[in-house]
């Protein structure tokens, strides 16, 4: 098929980079720079894929397809391609992983080759999840994401990392294995594992198996048990990748697999899922408001934001979907940026605890500006891209019942509360005990990976339609979507 090689390249390029870094005897800096170069090239190829994607043709919404038989007797093939909304998430992954790799190059990581190889492998996993058009291939990439994450948290994490990785791993694998059982039941009974030509089902059990994997990974209340430990113990950029990018794989799974391939179970289960999302939204916001450190706030706000995105997805209408996709990109960028800022503040002050921070704005204008800008966008002031996303989500979910919109609106107020608390606790107030004069402002190298994130957010604030008009094609003919218009 036309331009299928772009998809393959996007998947295989980081994998090749990972293998190269793993086996070649590069010094630390060189390994990082090679990884950075590979991920920059990945962004370039993504640009190519975006321009090759034809949003005007409604028909055949999965584009840039490539198919190779993997094992024929069970009807499984390596079938990849992008839907209109997936391509934005691929872009988010490429940009986000590049920023995270740049962060790691900047702060320097031990065992550099293993680290950067894992990061590139993670990129392959992420892109593959968004590209997979075959259930088993989806599962393979889904798990391929987990393996490097396990190592990245477990080797480079903080002192409590062993416990954190164990929790993270057990939670996510329990979900994944239920998904595998569902995939087997679905695929073997249909004789094909293809998502485009087959794979629609009305079975509640199969649906729930998939949902189990997604609610854990996202996470959705009450499946977030792994979240606080993991986000706190992981290296800062890995926490950012987890909450910004990996959780989007779960949101994508909700949208592309759960909602679009299981219309009837989605209809049957949407109220319970919306209730859980609402609880997570309010509960996460409240916890974020009470969290004692920067990472705690960002971690729990992630739980809240994933609840909001789930709102949009299970609104099951175009407005909700578009808002959710926009919000996925927004939250991905914000969360990654926030975690990296948290990491940089921790590097300077030795702690992220609010009771020992404060007054960092004085004499550090760049840090203050970046944190402020990110925070303002995160709390969804009108005119920001987050506002656009949340507005669309609330519009979408309003059609299902005004009560949901009220919950969402309350949560947006709460978001303002916890974000402003974070900003003032770090930047303003009196100078904290951990903040010394030697704590420098953001340096140019640090801006190199933070500025693009801020610029992208400002770009989407100015033109949110860049995403929302380019998600489902003009006729909305993503497979299965027609029903929900």
Partner 1 sequence: MTLASSIRTPHVDWFAMSPALVLLGASAACLLIAVLFRPRARRYLSAWVTGGAFVGAFVAAALLYDRSGHPTGVIADEIVRDRLGALAAIVVCGAGLATVGVSWRTRLQTHRAEYYALLAAAAGGMCFLVTATNLITLFLSLEWFSICLYVLCAIDVELEGSLEAGLKYLVVGGFGSAFLLFGSALVYGATGQVGFAQIAQATATLGLKHDAFLVAGLAMILAGLAFKASAAPFHMWTPDVYEGAPTPVTGFMAAATKTTALVLTLRILTTAFPQEKQLWTIALAVIVCVSLAIGNLGALVQRNVKRMLAYSSISHAGFMLMPIAAGNALGGRALLYYLIPYSAMSVASFAVVAARERELGVPVTFDNIAGLGWERPFLGAALWACMLGFAGLPLTGGFVGKFYAFSAVYDHGWVWLVIVGAVATAVSLYYYFGLVRALYMRAPAAVGLAPAGGQPPREAALQTAVFGCLVVTVGSFFAVEPLIRLAKMAASSLSF
Q: Which residues bind partner 1 (CB under 8 A)?
A: 22, 69-74, 111, 136, 139-141, 143-144, 146-147, 150-151, 154-155, 161-162, 165-166, 169-170, 173-174, 177-178, 180-181, 184-185, 187-189
**Min separation Cβ 113 and partner 1, Å:** 9
Q: Among positive and negative, which fits the CA dihedral 258, 263, 265, 270?
A: positive
**Min separation Cβ 181 and partner 1, Å:** 5
Which one, 55 or 169, has the nearer CB to partner 1?
169
Which one, 181 or 318, has the nearer CB to partner 1?
181
- Strands 76-82 and 63-71, by their bridges, are antiparallel
**Min separation Cβ 104 and partner 1, Å:** 17
Which one, 144 or 242, has the nearer CB to partner 1?
144
**Min separation Cβ 167 and partner 1, Å:** 12
Q: How far apart are CA 62 and CA 131, in angstroms?
A: 9
Which one, 55 or 70, has the nearer CB to partner 1?
70
Q: Say how many C-beta atoms besides its own lie within 10 A of residue 320's C-beta.
A: 27
Please list the alpha-helical segments (H only) found in 24-85.
Answer: 28-52
Question: Could you please report the per-residue DSSP string of 215-250?
Answer: HHHTT-TTS-TTHHHHHHHS-HHHHHHIIIIIHHHH
Which one, 136 or 294, has the nearer CB to partner 1?
136
Question: Could you please report the per-residue DSSP string of 351-364?
Answer: --BGGG---TTTT-
Question: Could you please report the per-residue DSSP string of 194-215?
Answer: BTTTS-----HHHHHHHHHHHH
Q: How far apart are CA 258 and CA 378, in angstroms?
A: 28
Which one, 113 or 353, has the nearer CB to partner 1?
113
Q: How far apart are CA 57 and CA 207, in angstroms?
A: 30
Terminal C-alpha separation, the chain:
29
Contact between residue 387 and residue 380 where contact means Cβ atoms under 8 Å apart: yes
Which one, 20 or 150, has the nearer CB to partner 1?
150
Q: Reduced to 3 states, what is the DSSP secondary structure of residue 70? A: strand
């Amino acid at each position: 098929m036309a331009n299928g090689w772009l998809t393959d390249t996007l998947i295989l390029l980081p994998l090749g980079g990972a293998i190269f870094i793993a086996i070649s005897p590069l010094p630390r800096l060189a390994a990082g720079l090679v990884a950075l170069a590979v991920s920059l090239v990945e962004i370039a190829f993504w640009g190519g894929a975006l321009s090759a994607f034809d949003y005007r043709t409604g028909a055949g919404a999965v584009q840039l397809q490539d198919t190779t038989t993997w094992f024929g007797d069970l009807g499984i093939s390596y079938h990849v391609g992008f839907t209109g909304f997936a391509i934005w998430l691929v872009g988010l992954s490429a940009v986000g992983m590049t920023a995270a790799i740049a962060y790691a190059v900047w702060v320097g990581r031990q065992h550099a080759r293993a680290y950067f190889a894992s990061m590139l492998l993670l990129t392959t996993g992420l892109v593959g999840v968004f590209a997979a058009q075959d259930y088993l291939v989806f599962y393979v990439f889904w798990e391929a994401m987990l393996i490097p994450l396990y190592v990245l948290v477990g080797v480079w994490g903080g002192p409590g990392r062993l416990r954190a990785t164990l929790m993270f791993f057990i939670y996510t694998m329990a979900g994944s294995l239920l998904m595998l059982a569902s995939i087997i039941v679905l695929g073997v009974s249909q004789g094909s594992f293809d998502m485009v030509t087959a794979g629609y089902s009305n079975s509640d059990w199969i649906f729930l198996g998939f949902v189990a994997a997604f609610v854990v990974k996202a996470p959705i209340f009450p499946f977030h048990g792994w979240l606080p430990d993991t986000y706190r113990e992981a290296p800062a950029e890995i926490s950012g990748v987890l909450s910004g990018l990996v959780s989007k794989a779960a949101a994508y799974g909700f949208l592309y697999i759960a909602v679009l391939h299981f219309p009837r179970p989605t209809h049957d289960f949407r109220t319970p899922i919306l209730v859980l999302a609402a609880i997570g939204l309010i509960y996460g916001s409240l916890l974020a408001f009470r969290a004692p450190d920067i990472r705690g706030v960002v971690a729990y706000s992630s739980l809240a934001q994933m609840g909001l995105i789930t709102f949009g997805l299970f609104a099951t209408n175009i407005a909700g979907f578009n808002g959710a996709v926009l919000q996925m990109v927004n939250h991905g960028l914000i969360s990654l940026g926030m975690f990296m800022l948290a990491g940089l503040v921790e590097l300077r002050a030795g702690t992220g605890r609010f009771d020992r921070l404060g007054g960092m704005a004085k004499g550090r204008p760049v840090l203050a500006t970046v944190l402020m800008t990110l925070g303002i966008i995160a709390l969804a002031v009108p005119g920001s891209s987050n506002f656009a996303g949340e507005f669309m989500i609330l519009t979408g979910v309003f059609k299902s019942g005004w009560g949901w919109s009220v919950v969402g609106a309350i949560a947006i107020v709460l978001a303002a509360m916890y974000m402003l608390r974070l900003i003032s606790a770090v930047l303003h107030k009196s100078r904290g005990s951990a903040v010394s004069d030697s704590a420098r402002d953001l340096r140019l190298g640090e801006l190199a990976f933070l500025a693009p994130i801020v610029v992208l957010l400002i770009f989407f604030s100015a033109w949110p339609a860049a995403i929302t008009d380019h998600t489902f094609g003009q006729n909305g003919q993503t497979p299965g979507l027609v029903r929900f218009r």
